[in-house]
């Protein structure tokens, strides 16, 4: 039964239609759609908002260089975005465009409310500005290159110096309030490390007021209090989450009353700052409740570690992937390959490997095997379960599939899409193993084992059915195919399928075509999935990287790396490989370190060198000598090289 008191409001960022979208955008939208599907399946009344952020100088420039006006330019992209979402079966409740009349009108009202309450004042802004990202940056944020110029920390394009009159929002007054809010609501921003980033980078150093208008910007919403200004990006963009629901227009705000506060905003980690600092303060100023959660997901990177982005021009065209490999494969890959809070990799090779191993092999081939056997031994008709031949294997598998309930729910309730799929695949792999170990082809040889054989068939199909019912959260087409082959039509509810015994014996089961194709990876690789030829080099990184980005900066920061000066170096008695050192590690402290480098260095050559030293390694004894910390060495396979400080630094400098 639909429980209408259970409501769930979820949003994606509104994307810039400055160009066609790529799989980075699909990633967030698929995650939000998956979450929305899950909540709907769990009986929630879901409102799922997505859309496009259509104003700004960058879009105006893009339109100009395309020889058209901004509105026609974005209309064209928005059509392509909607088409893409339809191809990916993204079931949003509403698509907001910031050029929609109602949005523009409501934004002006919001601006006016903030102004009337005294939160907006006139000032002037000087700073380094990125036209591409429409953002000002402080000196400490920018990339400074050898050419003396400053570059954007996000898109790496050259920054311009700009000074202009503008209106400011008094963010600075709310810094402490927000720090306290984080403390009282630790669930507000996830994953947890994003909170530390916000505190360290923005809140603790002290918030600055925010420029909220731009003079002379034509492609923007006119400022209601000053006709020379337009409303600049963040009030326009962030407020979409409430204007879409009718705020602040009384009488038109039923959706707002029903769904606000939002349950979760999914946003990429680069815009967490706007959603977890500016947005809560704006809402506080408007005196309306804050969203329950902002979840900052990681980036889809290429194997070469570069972020996929339109400004870098290295994007993968999702349409090509859908055409070639299908919607379910793409949705599965993105949800399975990348832990939602962290960065992860896309390469065609990784994608094809997942399709082959998880989809074609584990899941697809299991269907193929059990339907082939059912055809051969039972004419395709599902036999009865025979409980009297239940052994440990059967019991274990049954238990495993029945605990999916709790496991999948707890994973998805904490936005761990990957974990939910891992749980489901454990059951799929276990079922493959069960079939293998039960060896139906042997049971079939012995008439006395017919009941046992029937049981293996029943159990395998029952598990397959339950697993497929869960996969409705992630897949679009495949569950329908399976349910139809089971003679159950398109619509199977998880609730009805997840109980043991939900599959009735006596049904005729159709084998059908393979559920997923498998690919010859070598042949497939090299077929372009990138949207333009010049970028082909990005799609097939030479090999799967040995260097997975699997630690956070905080992990690295646990290492206390220092420069250290070698004061004493000597051989360790009766140990051919060991040298003992006494190091000056700064501030008058000395340390003894033992290192296995006697084969590569003479002790006398090492004295006086400034080397790199790991200071906080737990001490360990070598030949009775206690060694504290470790010297850093490079290894080329033949010899070792001490890592030294390229400039003649003193001992005790930090290395980071």
Q: Taking the complex as a whole, how short is the minimal distance between the CB of residue 278 and ligand MSP, in angstroms?
A: 10
Task: Rounding to the nearest 10 degrees, give the CA dihedral for residues 592, 595, 599, 605.
Answer: -40
Which stretch, 25-33, 246-254, 318-326, 422-430, contacts ligand MSP (CB under 6 A)? Answer: 25-33
Residue from 107, 110, 237, 355 in contact with ligand MSP (CB under 6 A): 237
238 lies in the binding site for ligand MSP (CB under 6 A): yes
Q: What are the C-alpha distances in Å from 264 to residues 10, 191, 442, 472?
A: 5, 13, 53, 22
Residue from 130, 308, 335, 457 in contact with ligand MSP (CB under 6 A): 308
Q: Cα separation of 460 and 507, whole Å? A: 14
Nearer to ligand MSP, 371 or 418 (CB): 418
Q: 477 Cβ partners below 8 Å, 6+ apart?
A: 326, 327, 328
Omega prior to 375 cis, within 30 of 0: no
> Does the protein bind ligand MSP through residue 401 (CB under 6 A)?
no
Q: Does 62 bind ligand MSP (CB under 6 A)?
A: no
| In 149-293, alpha helices (H) | 175-184, 192-198, 234-238, 240-243, 254-259, 272-273, 279-286
Q: How far is the CB of 307 from ligand MSP (least distance, A)?
A: 5
CB of 264 to ligand MSP, least distance (A): 13
> In angstroms, what CA-CA distances link 201 with 68, 153, 198?
40, 14, 5
| Residue 267 CB, nearest approach to ligand MSP (Å) | 5
Strands 189-190 and 294-297: parallel
The reply to whether 27 sits near ligand MSP by the rule CB under 6 A is: yes
CA dist., res. 56 & res. 489, Å (int): 48
Please report how close the Cβ of residue 311 comes to ligand MSP at its closest, in angstroms. Answer: 9
* Gap between the Cα atoms of 293 and 190, Å rounded: 7
Binding of ligand MSP by 84 (CB under 6 A): no
Under a CB-based contact definition with an 8 Å cutoff, are residues 88 and 26 in contact?
yes
**Number of neighbours of residue 516 by Cβ within 10 angstroms:** 22
- The residue within the footprint of ligand MSP, chosen from 9, 24, 314, 601 (CB under 6 A), is 24
Q: Which residues, 6+ apart, have CB-to-CB distance to 21 below 8 Å? A: 15, 80, 81, 84, 318
Query: At closest approach, how far in Å is the CB of 252 from ligand MSP?
Result: 21
Is residue 26 involved in binding ligand MSP (CB under 6 A)?
no
Residue closer to ligand MSP by CB (options 297, 452) is 297
Q: Among residues 318 and 629, whose Cβ is nearest to ligand MSP?
A: 318
- Should residue 8 be labelled a site residue for ligand MSP when binding is judged by CB under 6 A? no
Q: Give the residue, chosen from 307, 331, 498, 538, that forms a contact with ligand MSP under the rule CB under 6 A.
A: 307
d(CA 308, CA 295): 20
**Should residue 330 be labelled a site residue for ligand MSP when binding is judged by CB under 6 A?**
no
Give the pairing of strands 120-130 and 160-169: antiparallel
Residue with smaller CB distance to ligand MSP, 472 or 540: 540
CA–CA–CA angle 328, 331, 337 (5° rounding): 125
Q: Tell me how far, at minimum, the Cβ of 298 lies from ligand MSP, in Å.
A: 7
Residue 318 structure tokens: 């999702």
Residue 54 touching ligand MSP (CB under 6 A): no
Question: Could you tell me if 199 and 67 are in contact, meaning their C-beta atoms sit under 8 angstroms apart?
Answer: no
Interface with ligand MSP in residues 351-370 (CB under 6 A):
none
Residue 166 or 308 having the CB closest to ligand MSP = 308
The window from 2-10, 21-29, 104-112, 532-540 that contacts ligand MSP (CB under 6 A) reads: 21-29
Is residue 264 a contact residue for ligand MSP (CB under 6 A)? no
Out of 8, 9, 25, 210, name the contact with ligand MSP by CB under 6 A: 25
Specify the residue, 308 or 572, whose C-beta has the smaller distance to ligand MSP. 308
Beta bridge partners of 45: 7
- Should residue 16 be labelled a site residue for ligand MSP when binding is judged by CB under 6 A? yes
Helix pair 417-438, 392-402: axis angle to 10 deg: 160
Residue 619 host element (H or E)? none
Other Cβ atoms less than 10 A from the Cβ of 490: the count is 9
Which residue number, 96 or 569, has a Cβ lying nearer to ligand MSP?
A: 96
Residue of 90, 271, 322, 330 interacting with ligand MSP (CB under 6 A): 271
To ligand MSP, the closest distance from the beta carbon of 244 in angstroms equals 11
Our CB check for ligand MSP shows the closer of 240 and 348 to be: 240
| Number of residues near ligand MSP (by CB under 6 A) | 21
Backbone angles phi, psi at 325, to 5 degrees: -120, -10
Check binding of 15 to ligand MSP (CB under 6 A): yes
CB 611, min distance to ligand MSP, A: 39
Residue with tokens 């081939």: 365
Residue among 271 and 443 whose Cβ is closer to ligand MSP: 271
DSSP string, 543-609: S--S------HHHHHTS-EEEEEEEEEEEPTT-TT-EEEEEE-STT-EEEEEES-TTT--HHHHTT-
Tell me how far, at minimum, the Cβ of 235 lies from ligand MSP, in Å: 10
Please report how close the Cβ of residue 221 comes to ligand MSP at its closest, in angstroms: 14
**Piece of the chain touching ligand MSP by CB under 6 A; list 20-28, 424-432, 453-461, 587-595:** 20-28
Query: Backbone phi, then psi, for 304, in 5-degree steps?
Result: -85, 10
- Count the neighbouring beta carbons within 10 Å of the beta carbon of residue 432: 18
| Stretch touching ligand MSP by CB under 6 A, among 1-9, 10-18, 361-369, 641-649 | 10-18
Site for ligand MSP in 582-611 (CB under 6 A): none
Q: Can the peptide bond before residue 261 be classed as cis, meaning omega within 30 degrees of 0? A: yes
Distance separating alpha carbons of residues 488 and 371, to the nearest angstrom? 16
Q: Cβ distance 148 to 159 under 8 Å?
A: no
Min separation Cβ 16 and ligand MSP, Å? 4
**Least distance from ligand MSP to the Cβ atom of residue 240, Å:** 6
- Applying CB under 6 A, among 281, 300, 421, 492 the residue interacting with ligand MSP is 300
Q: Which range in 58-66, 305-313, 484-492, 577-585 contacts ligand MSP by CB under 6 A? A: 305-313
Instruction: Give how far Cα 110 sits from Cα of 106, 221, 234, 246, 543, Å.
Output: 6, 12, 12, 12, 51
- Min dist CB 270 to ligand MSP, Å, is 6
Contacting residues toward ligand MSP, per CB under 6 A: 13-16, 24-25, 27-28, 53, 237-238, 240, 267-268, 270-271, 299-300, 307-309
């Amino acid at each position: 039964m639909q429980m209408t008191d259970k409501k769930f409001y979820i949003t994606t960022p509104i994307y810039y239609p400055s160009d066609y979208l790529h799989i980075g955008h699909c990633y967030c939208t698929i995650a939000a759609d998956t979450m929305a599907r899950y909540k709907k399946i769990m009986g929630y009344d879901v409102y799922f908002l997505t859309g496009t952020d259509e104003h700004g100088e960058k879009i105006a420039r893009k339109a100009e260089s395309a020889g058209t006006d901004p509105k026609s330019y974005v209309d064209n992209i928005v059509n392509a975005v909607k088409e893409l979402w339809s191809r990916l079966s993204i079931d949003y409740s509403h698509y907001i465009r910031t050029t929609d009349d109602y949005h523009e009108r409501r934004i002006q009202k919001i601006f006016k409310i903030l102004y009337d309450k005294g939160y907006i004042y006139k000032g002037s802004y000087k700073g380094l500005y990125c036209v591409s990202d429409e953002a000002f940056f402080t000196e400490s944020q920018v990339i400074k290159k050898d050419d003396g110029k400053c570059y954007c920390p996000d898109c790496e394009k050259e920054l311009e110096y700009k000074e202009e009159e503008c209106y400011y929002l008094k963010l600075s007054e709310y810094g402490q309030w927000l720090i306290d809010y984080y403390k009282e609501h630790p669930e507000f921003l996830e994953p947890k490390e994003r909170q530390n980033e916000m505190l360290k980078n923005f809140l603790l150093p002290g918030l600055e007021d925010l420029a909220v208008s731009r003079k002379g910007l034509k492609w923007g919403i006119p400022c209601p209090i000053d006709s020379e200004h337009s409303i600049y990006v963040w009030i326009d963009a962030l407020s979409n989450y409430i204007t879409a629901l009718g705020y602040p227009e009384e009488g038109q705000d039923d959706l707002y009353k029903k769904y606000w506060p939002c349950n979760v905003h999914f946003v990429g980690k680069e815009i967490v700052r706007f959603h977890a600092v500016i947005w809560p303060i704006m809402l506080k100023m408007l005196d309306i409740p804050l969203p329950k959660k902002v979840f900052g997901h990681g980036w889809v990177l290429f194997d070469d570690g570069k972020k996929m982005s339109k400004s870098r021009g290295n994007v993968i065209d999702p349409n090509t992937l859908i055409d070639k490999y299908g919607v379910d494969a793409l949705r599965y890959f993105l949800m399975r390959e990348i832990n939602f809070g962290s960065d992860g990799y896309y390469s065609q090779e990784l994608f094809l490997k997942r399709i082959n191993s998880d989809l074609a092999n584990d899941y697809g081939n299991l269907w193929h095997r059990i339907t082939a056997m059912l055809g051969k031994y039972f004419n395709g008709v599902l036999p009865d379960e025979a409980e009297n031949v239940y052994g440990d294997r059967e019991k274990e598998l049954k238990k495993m599939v029945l605990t999916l309930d709790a496991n999948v729910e707890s994973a998805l309730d904490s936005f761990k899409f990957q974990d939910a799929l891992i749980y489901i695949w454990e059951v799929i792999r276990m079922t493959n193993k069960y079939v293998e170990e039960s060896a139906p082809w042997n049971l079939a040889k012995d008439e006395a084992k017919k009941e046992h054989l029937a049981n293996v068939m029943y159990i395998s199909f029952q598990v397959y059915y339950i697993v497929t019912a869960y996969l409705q959260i992630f897949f679009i087409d495949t569950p329908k195919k399976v349910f139809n082959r089971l003679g159950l039509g398109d619509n199977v509810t998880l609730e009805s399928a997840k109980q043991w015994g939900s599959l009735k014996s006596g049904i005729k089961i159709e084998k059908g075509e393979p559920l997923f194709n498998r690919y010859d990876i070598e042949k497939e690789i090299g077929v372009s999935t990138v949207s333009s030829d010049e970028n082909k080099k990005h799609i097939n990184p030479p090999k799967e990287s040995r260097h997975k980005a699997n630690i956070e900066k905080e992990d690295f920061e646990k290492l206390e790396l220092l420069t250290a000066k070698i004061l004493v170096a000597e051989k360790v008695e009766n140990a051919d490989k060991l040298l003992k050192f006494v190091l000056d590690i700064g501030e008058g402290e000395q340390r003894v370190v033992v290192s296995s480098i006697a084969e590569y260095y003479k002790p006398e050559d090492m004295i006086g060198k400034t080397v790199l030293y790991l200071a906080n390694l737990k001490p360990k004894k070598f030949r009775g000598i206690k060694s504290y910390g470790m010297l850093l060495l490079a290894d080329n396979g033949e010899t070792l090289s001490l890592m030294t400080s390229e400039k003649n630094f003193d001992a005790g400098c930090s290395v980071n």
